[in-house]
Chains A and B, each alone.
Chain A
Amino acid sequence: MEAADLLQVLDRKQPRRLRVIENLLRGRRTVSTLYWGQRYHLLPLLDANKHLDHGALTAPAQQLAASGLVTLDSEADQLLLTPTGQQRQAGAYYQPQTSADWLNLDLGAARQRLLLAVQVTSQYAHSTSRYYPLATDLVTRRVVRQWFHLEKGPQLAAALLTAMVQSLQQLPVQTAEVMTDLLTGYQHPGLTVSQVASEQQQTAWEIQLRQRDGITQIARDARQADHPLHGLLHPLWRSPVTRSAQATLYAVEQGGSLEQVAAQRHVKANTVKEHLLEAAILSPVATFPYDRLLPQRVRADFAAALNADIDSWQFAQLPEDLRTRYDFFYFRLYAIWRGRGMMDDGATHS
């Protein structure tokens, strides 16, 4: 991620922490990272750059500060856009079209499967069987092999071409160009992300955002049962909530106190709470049992003590009696609930 990319995930009013952004990109799923990721509206980027080095955003941040585009706090962690920074942010930069779905798709696996499936089909269409397959993990290789044995036939290449053209036509032309350049196939090794970036005069990160759009659009269309990639991509749609957090949530929904659920699931009480917070952040508001875990009276207690600026809330600054009555879990859950547009009267607010 370069300075120009970092600029895009910052805000003029809300100071944003570099550490949170880094952890989010690296896929560190702590409650704190997820919570702040949601506050920053950056959750779609969860896990978007697994191999980002620790501290890799420091240099871009300092570059932005040196150019007067952001201000940095004394610990060089909180960034805030300056008016010039805000102007610059509004300049030409790719705006992803499909990010609403990113959390619900295993994009990494989808990418590997799509690239290998295209390569295999392309070589097959040209009747070549001796070629170097893209290096992917074992699961991808096995799944694509099974898919290919089921699907191969005289129609496969044409069907895949039609399907991909249809998907990519729904995206900006440049995104379709980028997606095509990155593919590997017969007599076409494909370009690397940095080669495409220099050709398109964009940053590598923008190219990756475009690729995410391309893959997501194809995976969306592959939900149709007659899509040639259905068997390969459909299983990769999933809830972003981890399996263990889902199990905890399910146990809570079946009744029983948090302590009982902890005993039943053989985890610590604190883990149950972390699971629930994760589920609250990552599931649609309507599906989470707020009414049970955060009853009306609890909301009223917090509402009486807290102002409208959610980001300024600090547990340590709550009145003493409130802190003895409710632990951090309820405080955080209330913040999530409010942060997702719920008002104390139960109405939504955007």
Chain B
Amino acid sequence: MMEPLTASLQRVFGFDTFRTGQEAALTALEQGQDTLAVLPTGAGKTLIYQLYGYRHPGCVLVISPLLSLMNDQVDRMRVTGFRRSAAINSLTSYVERQEILRHLRDYQFLFLSPEMLAQPQMLAQVQQLQLSLLVVDEAHCIVQWGPDFRPEYLLLGAIRTKLRQPLTLMLTATAGKTTRHEIAKQLRTTPEIVSESVNRPNIFLDVENVADEPEKQARLRSLVSQLQQPGVVYFSSKQQATDTALWLHQETGVRAAAYHAGLDSEDRFKIQQQFMAGQLDVICATSAFGMGIDKNNVRYVIHYHLPADLESYAQEIGRAGRDGKPSVAILLYAPGDEQLPLALGQANRPDEETIQRYYAHPQQFSGDDAVIQLLAFYRQHGISQAAVTQMFMRRERERNRALAQMMAYARETHCLRERWLAAFDEQSPEHTVACCSPGNTPLDLDAVGLMRQQSPTGEVKSEREDWVTRLRRLF
């Protein structure tokens, strides 16, 4: 007889009660049910597989999408006491990979990228393991990224079959009906669905219309100098994130830093830790920032560029107000902003003619081109020209539909929350002034209770101690 879930929770983490969704997911898994857990950011999804791994012999295999964050995940596992954890992805050095492979059986938690798992040698090794649980983290990426970005995601269903259909946990923070259906279909399972409302009542929603880029910048500066800190500003471009961090610091004195996938691991580590330690007021980030940032008191999330869909948007604003206190999510919209996500979506999509020419003479194309690599992938996996053409057409329709939904949110005039939740097939609570201010209603920071009280921290600069004193303090 196994000990009750709550006893394990107490033993491993020292908590008395589960957060919503955790217990339901664990109970389903304990009953041998594949489970799709749609739980908001900050709900403690990691705990579900940590605790399951603790209670069952064998290895928990976690498929994780973000290469740069996988090592952070492993570090976090080690810090919480799960020392037998390792990650292998394309960034792992040859020596390190060999070392991990030699001890593969000793790991309790193994993190792999889909690309790594798709390699036949790796798959063969993993087939030898006794898997207690297969986890597909950020499962919405199957739908968002699969077809035109990381096609290996589409192999996960076949891989799961080759692994003899292990018990599977799919995790995501945001997935409407269509996405849930697609995830289940790709992974060839009919999971028990555990979902919590995506609504975050303590996050005030705001859309602001601006005329053009200069006005948008001016508005950003004014918001950043008035809002309670800390906050996150999201961009679609690394360069713009970097430039704006510098500019905001110069203009307003706030302590700002940029965070994106182009930073090396040391810089990423330092920026994250500075932010956690309260040494930064604003992070100017790309979507690389966030998954796995445990900071509860983020007061605002501003989107400088229009996200490609409401699911990404929900995921990113979810980083605000995890402590349950009032927070705000602001979307700055200038006419034509939809062009950027449209162009980014097109960039990786081959047109019909390219597909046709490629299938006719594959050897005539250079493998350097990302689009050609994508086509080569499908061709090598025996997918016909007609099927590929159709898949990309369907994909484009899906993207356009998602962007239209995002646009409808930006243009909403009545209730943003209602619009947002409807996309996830949820009913919204009755609209009040404390709920949101759509583009036609100005944002009143005082009323929302998010106006900054004290002077900006940058203004009072204390005398810096000499290096010997600072060094001494370290030790």
Chain A residues with a Cβ under 8 A of chain B: 51, 115, 118, 121-122, 125, 130-135, 137-139, 157-158, 160-161, 164-165, 168, 173, 176-177, 179-181, 183-195, 198
Not counting A122-B475, A135-B75, A137-B93, a sample of 6 additional A-B residue pairs whose C-beta atoms are within 8 angstroms of each other reads: A134-B266, A168-B471, A183-B471, A189-B270, A189-B277, A195-B257
Contacts of B467 in A (CB 8 A): 168, 173, 176-177, 179-180
Nearest CB to that of B271 among chain A residues? A192
User: Which residue in A135, A139, A158, A194 is a CB contact (below 8 Å) of B269?
Assistant: A135
Give CA–CA (A194, B268) in the complex, Å. 12
| Pairs across A and B, CB under 8 Å, 19 listed | A130-B79, A132-B76, A132-B79, A135-B266, A135-B269, A137-B96, A139-B95, A139-B96, A161-B471, A161-B475, A164-B471, A165-B468, A176-B467, A180-B467, A180-B471, A188-B473, A189-B270, A190-B270, A192-B271
Give CA–CA (A142, B69) in the complex, Å. 21
Nearest CB to that of A112 among chain B residues? B266
Chain A proximity mask over B265-301: 1 for CB below 8 Å, otherwise 0: 1111111111011010000000000000000000000
Contact, CB under 8 Å: A183 / B474 = yes
Contacts of B75 in A (CB 8 A): 132-133, 135
Nearest CB to that of A125 among chain B residues? B475
Q: A161-B471, A168-B467, A185-B474 are in contact. Are A138 and B267 (CB under 8 A)?
A: no
Contacts of A125 in B (CB 8 A): 474-475
Q: A164-B471, A192-B267 are in contact. Are A132 and B246 (CB under 8 A)?
A: no
Give CA–CA (A134, B279) in the complex, Å. 18
Give CA–CA (A164, B474) in the complex, Å. 12
Give CA–CA (A278, B263) in the complex, Å. 34
- How far in angstroms is the closest Cβ of chain B from A135? 4
Contact, CB under 8 Å: A134 / B474 = no
Give CA–CA (A137, B93) in the complex, Å. 8
Give CA–CA (A185, B474) in the complex, Å. 6
Give CA–CA (A185, B279) in the complex, Å. 14
- How far in angstroms is the closest Cβ of chain B from A138? 4
Chain A proximity mask over B88-100: 1 for CB below 8 Å, otherwise 0: 0000010110010
Contacts of B270 in A (CB 8 A): 184, 189-192
Q: Does B472 contact A (CB under 8 A)?
A: yes
Give CA–CA (A274, B279) in the complex, Å. 52
Nearest CB to that of B279 among chain A residues? A189
Give CA–CA (A188, B71) in the complex, Å. 21
Give CA–CA (A188, B263) in the complex, Å. 20
- How far in angstroms is the closest Cβ of chain A from B91? 10
Contact, CB under 8 Å: A165 / B471 = yes
- How far in angstroms is the closest Cβ of chain A from B332? 26
Would you list the 4 A-B pairs with minimal beta carbon distance, nearest first? A189-B273, A157-B475, A135-B265, A185-B474
Q: A137-B93, A137-B96 are in contact. Are A189 and B475 (CB under 8 A)?
A: no
Contact, CB under 8 Å: A138 / B79 = no
Contact, CB under 8 Å: A158 / B473 = no
